[in-house]
Amino acid sequence: EDELEIAGVRFSSRLFLGTGKYEDMETMREALERSGTEMVTVAVRYMDLSGERSILQELDLSRYRLLPNTAGATTAEQAVKMARLAREATGTNWVKLEVIGDQKTLWPDTGATVEATKELVAEDFVVLPYTSTDLVAAIRLEEAGAATVMPLASPIGSGQGMPDWASISRIVERITVPVVVDAGLGVPSDAAFAMELGADAVLVNTAIARAGNPPQMAEAMKLGVRAGRLAYLAGRMPVSRYAVPSSPTRGVPAASES
């Protein structure tokens, strides 16, 4: 089967979901359900690690692998601490590593992210770092032991799609671990496009949570990801500058000559 493998774990679904920004928990649960996802990310800051009504209790963790994320960290140290807290509280050693270097754009600080990746890998974490479209940063993350590389398509929550797709394509060509396109995807065609370029998976949050009908958009994203993946495996037609007739130029002459 066409499964995705990350750190020895196999996934049938190539769509990962975030859990932020939903109007209510019921809508979130329904969206997760219809998306077919097998992994969801939750901000460590959003887990009420000591208390009662945590988002963690809203998730059926027998169905979804939990991927804590370090949203809100602005230094390697903060991110590392968040990852440790999450491991203690939830038992998972997986972490989506985010170290933000600019608040207006939520652009990642790739230098600090590489540093935190090294530290966390040394502590036996499975690290899935959020990064920019910078090729060499992606290479450094892979060298640091990242389990995947997760370049952004455009700023988090912006829905701008993937304007710098050429850089994503360069990363896909060069990186050996799975490439997960994260952030900025707005519609299923964006997700399909990422998969057609050869991305191994995508992570979507706002595009679903802030859609008019989140569960329906979740299903749309599921289909878009599958469409793009199937197309990648099938092999696309060549692009040509001019037209190429669909119909043979030979054929029954009676019609056109009469």
Amino acid of residue 151? P
| Least distance in angstroms from the C-beta of 53 to a second copy | 12
DSSP state of 237: P
| Least distance in angstroms from the C-beta of 37 to a second copy | 15
Outline where DSSP puts E strands in the chain: 4-6, 9-11, 15-18, 39-43, 65-69, 94-97, 100-102, 107-108, 126-131, 150-151, 180-182, 201-204
Among 6, 59, 73, 126, binds a second copy (CB under 8 A): 73
Applying CB under 8 A, which part among 5-13, 57-65, 108-116, 119-127 lies near a second copy? 108-116
Q: Are 171 and 137 in contact (CB under 8 A)?
A: no
Applying CB under 8 A, which part among 3-11, 37-45, 58-66, 117-125 lies near a second copy? 37-45
Among 7, 25, 46, 92, binds a second copy (CB under 8 A): 46
Radius of gyration of the chain (CA): 20
Residue 56 found at the interface with a second copy (CB under 8 A): no
> CA 88 to CA 82: how far, in whole Å?
10
Residue 186 found at the interface with a second copy (CB under 8 A): yes
| Least distance in angstroms from the C-beta of 173 to a second copy | 8
Task: Please name the residue that has the structure tokens 């050996």.
Answer: 176
- Is 96 marked active-site? yes
Q: Please say which residue, 69 or 148, places its beta carbon nearer to a second copy.
A: 69
Q: Please say which residue, 11 or 22, places its beta carbon nearer to a second copy.
A: 22
Task: Please list the active-site residues.
Answer: 96
